[in-house]
Structure formats: C-alpha cells, structure tokens
Structure 1
Amino acid sequence: MSSDKDARRSVRTLLEILDLDSSDARTTEDIFTGTSHPMPTGRIYGGQVLGQSLVAAERTLPAGRVAHSMHGYFLRAGDASQGLTFAVDRIHDGRSFSTRRCQAFQNGVPIFSMIASFQDDNPGIEHAVPMPEGIPGPEDLPTDEELSEGIHPLSRRMLADRPVDMRHVEGPIYLGAGQEQVPHQAVWMRMRAPFPDDPALHRAALAYLSDMTIQESILRAHGLSWATPGLKVASLDHGMWWHRPGRVDDWLLYVQQSPNARGGRGLASGRIYDRAGTLIASVAQEITVRVPEA
C-alpha cells in the first residue's frame, strides 16, 4: 500500500500538473502550457486533460463565474512524455453566462476539444435524486490496492502512483473473477492527501476523478475485466455537469450505470455524491469497446 509520504507526493504532483503556465505569445486565443503525469503506458490519462482544460478556461472568465457544464471529445491519444498546449477561445460573455472553447494540442495537432459553460451563482428551483441507500461506507471496504494481487505489474504501478484512494463497492474488475454481470456499480473515491481550499481546484480535480472507473459499468454488464485478453477500450467523449460545491479530499460516492451498448460503443452515466448524500455532479461518457472473437 502507498505510504503517507507517497500519497502526499502524488497529490502534490497533481496540483503541479493543474497549475498551468500562461503564454505571452500574441494570438487571438488565450494560450496555456502544461505537463503530464508520468504513465507506465505512455498515454495521457483523459481525466488529466479534462481538469487542465477546465483550469485554462476558468482563467479567462469574469470574476465569480464557475463551471456548470462541459462536453469534450477525445480526438487522439496523448503522449505523457511531452508537454501540452491549451488554446482557449472566449466564445461568449453574457450577463449571467460565459462560454469557452478549449483545445489541447501536442505536436501542433489537437488531442482533446472541449466546450464549457459557466454561470454566476443564482437562486432558483432545486431538487436532486437522492443517494442510493444500503451502500457500505468506504471504511467497510478494502482499497483497490489491497485487491490488486495478480494483476499486471504496470497496472499495479498505476494503482500505487495515482493520487486517489478508490474502493469499489462490488469489487474491482481488474481480474473479473466471480463478478456478477450487471450494468452498474458504485465506487468510493477521494484524494489521498488534503487539497487546497480553492474551489476552482476542487472543480478541476473532480473532472479529473470523473474519468476514473466510469467505463466499468459497460464492461461489468458483459463479464469483462481489464485483464480480458485483447480487450481494447478508448474514451470517445465526456460530459459533466457541476451541481453543487464539493471537496475532492473528502469521500465521494460515484454511482454508475450503463443504459446501452451497441456497434462497438458503450454509454455510461454517473452521479457523484458527497458523504452527506448531496448530489454534486453528473457525468456521461461514451467509449469504444472491442472484444476479440472467442
């Protein structure tokens, strides 16, 4: 298991990655640059680019405006050994709403494209789907690391190095043995070390977390695991709606389900609750799933 020192180091690395640099180059767009997590696979983790793109867009906003929705497309696999450039287009600033487009580039070509909307804090009607009942708390569940015996060494390294403590309610599908074939799951998650109080950082980090495990309700429905020989999974797009403030260094419950899979694609949706049962965000993602013929 990760030590407290390793946990703080991994969270510090994430904070450094979210702290983008501004470019002084004269252009019609706002330009920012950033780095990536070192990844054993060499490919950039999609949630990282989601969080960085949100940080870049929010730096161009009028004071007091925060993200309420985004939709992004993963266009190409990113190289984690190279830097990234983020170009933000200020599409619209109205009395209550702002719209931004952000594209992430490597080697002059876009790897991710996002459009996001931001709003002033306004009163209005309010309701939310309650958190499911009967789900065990995170203290009653083993960590994913404790259940990772037998998985590929690269996967074990990724689990050990990530800044997130994650606990699957139904058990992780790293190996897939004995898992019930159902199109849903729930996962507790939080950052492994305290996060600064800046709400913008918590929104970006929540986007980072939202890409973790969301694909698994699709795989679980068909008895697939990450160890299935020849399995190929790639994220196509990602939608997210921020409903209420939340902290990523407190426990969050990510409730996920897959309503459909067809044509080599699967759709997953998720709701993120804080420990008190408050709905703080909703997520949707479509992925490609290729399974070799038996």
Structure 2
Amino acid sequence: MLQQLLDILTLEPSGDDGFVGEIMHPKGFRVYGGQVLAQALEAAQSTVDIDRAVHSQHAYFLREGKTDRPIHYQVERARDGGSFNSRRVVASQDDRTILVSSMSFQRPDDSFDFQESVPEVPAPEDLPSERERAKTDGIFDEDFMITTGEDIDVRMVHPIQWANPEQRRGQLFNWMKTTGPMPDDPALHRNVLAYFSDTMLLDAGLIQHGRSYWDRGLQIASLDHAIWFHADCRTDEWLLHSADLERNSGGRTLVSGRFYSREGVHVATVMQQGLMRKR
C-alpha cells in the first residue's frame, strides 16, 4: 500500500543524528535496496536546512538486510558550507553495517540548463502494469512486491518474460509512479525517487545474455549505486526510466539510467554496479 511506503519513509529519531526505519516488506527474503537508499536520504535530509536539496547520493551495499528487524541510521555531518552540505550515513542492523552512503546538498542555483531530448516511447496508458502481468502469468509474489505492489505502478515498454527471457540488447524503458497522490513536500518526492532508482537496472545487464533475476544459477545483488538529482519532480506522476547496459565483466554488470518527467524534463541520472555471476 502507498501509505505503508510513506510510513517507512518517516523515521524515528534515536539519539544524536540517529534514526530508526521500519521494513517495507517484512515477509520478503531480503530488504529491498531502494528502501535503504530512501531511508538513508531521509535521515541525512533531516540534518540539513530545508532550503538545501540533495543533488547526489552515492552508496555501497555491504550486506543483505534482514527483514525481521528495523534498520538504524547514523548521520555524520561531514561539512556545512556556504552553498553545499555533505553528509555520510551508515545503515546497520545488530551493529553490522549493511550500507554506507555519502550525500551532498546544495542551495538553489539556476546558472545553466541543458539536457538531451527524451526518448520516444509508447505512453504508459497503453501498457500493462507489472502487477497485472504478474497476476496474469501466475507469478505474483505477495511477500516481496517491488514492481508488483500496491505502492508503485511500473510499466515496461518492452516487457521481459521473467520465467523464460529472450536474449536482446541491454536497454530497457519503464514508466513509474506511485499508485496514488502524495503530499507536496519536494524532499519526500526525492526520497521516493531514490526508492524507485534501485529497480529495473540490473535487468538490463541480465537480458543482454537472455537471463533474468529468476535464474537460480546466478548470484545477483546490487553492489554500489549513485543517483544525481537534476530537477524536482513529482513521483505521483508518470516518470520515464531508461536503463542502458554499459559493461558486463568480472562477474559484475554496470548499468546507467535516466528519469524523465512526462513533460520531457531529465530529472535524475542513475548508475549501478551489481554482482552478476554464475554460482
């Protein structure tokens, strides 16, 4: 449910610059990385003046998160400058670090503006949602609903048959938004964008070889992640997400992504490296 997503993005203060976050999918086999990214961003944002918006987040996933216990976030105030604020966040469970993330915040600046044009793809209204496809194909998993839940609506321009994928170019286009309206707080929409950003990236590396995350003969996991925020957006309105494979090598895949608003504004860029190797 969308309210559940909004609830887990509301952290409980715990000591000096410490916060506690609950789990979005407590019956899942592991914590979804996008949740940890979004909660870490919320923890850092809570220590920065409201007029400073995040412009970059870099993170390393160090351990798999457990779904039966909350996550603790400790914020380090690395620097507070005239234009920029830097924060480092450590996410842990049982004193074991699962993620470290560095973030930079900036006061508004409109010095220059340029972007490439948005790709031309079918409209989201003409495409089935991943939730609909999962139910139709009989592969709906109620315990770990990342792209098939009731909180976000994901629609693939060129759907992957997850159980029997065909080999094709490592490029994907997907529409994403929340399933209902959200408050107007721009910081909340940036948190949700961070939540979105961990989806449909490694899949571009896998489909290049005709494989999917369903393949039990592979080890697949996010290793490191970066997102650059270029402009504010609403995550309760359609965003086009592109994912382009850069390189597969050394048991890893590197994929770049972009988010565009329905009006064609390039609002964020993502890079992710993931583990992708044979067991």
TM-score (norm 1): 0.90
Structure 1 partner of 2:64:
77
Q: What CA distance in whole angstroms lies between the structure 2 residues aligned with 1:69 and 1:102?
A: 13
Q: CA deviation at 1:155?
A: 6.9
1:110 maps onto 2:97 in alignment: yes
1:53 corresponds to which residue? 40
Higher mean C-alpha deviation, range 191-200 or range 30-39: 30-39
Looking at structure 1, the residues matched to 137 and 27 of structure 2 have their Cα atoms a distance apart, in angstroms, of: 17
Match of 1:11?
Answer: 2
Which residue of the partner structure matches residue 138 of structure 1?
124
Question: Normalising to structure 2: TM-score of the pair?
Answer: 0.94
SS at match of 1:161: coil
1:162-181 paired onto structure 2 within 5 Å:
162-177=150-165, 179-181=166-168
User: Structure 2: how far apart are the matches of 1:227 and 1:22?
Assistant: 37
2: CA distance between counterparts of 1:111 and 1:17?
A: 17
Offset of residue 34 of structure 1: 1.2
Q: Which runs of 5+ in 2 are unaligned?
A: none
How far is 1:226 from its partner?
2.6
Aligned equivalent of 1:281: 268
Identity over aligned pairs, percent: 38
- Pairing 1:6-45 to 2, within 5 Å after superposition: 10-23=1-14, 25=15, 27=16, 30-45=17-32
CA shift for structure 1 position 130: 1.3
Please report how far the alpha carbon of residue 161 of structure 1 lies from its aligned counterpart in structure 2 after TM superposition.
3.1
**By how many angstroms is 1:39 displaced?**
4.3
Deviations 1:22-51 (A, max 9, x none): 12x3x5xx1011101124433100000000
The residue type equivalent to 1:88 in the other structure is: V
Superimposed CA distance per residue, residues 199-238 of structure 1 (whole angstroms, 9 cap, x where no aligned partner): 1100000000000111111011111123324222100000
Deviations 1:153-176 (A, max 9, x none): 537862543511111101134223
Distance in structure 2 (CA, Å) of the matches to 1:155 and 1:173: 19
* CA-to-aligned-CA distance 1:59-88 (integer Å, 9 cap, x gap): 101230010001000010001110111000
Where 2:141 maps in the other structure, the secondary structure is: helix
Residues matched between the structures, number: 277
1:218 matches 2:167: no
The change in CA–CA distance for 1:155 and 1:168 in structure 2 (over 3 A counts) is farther
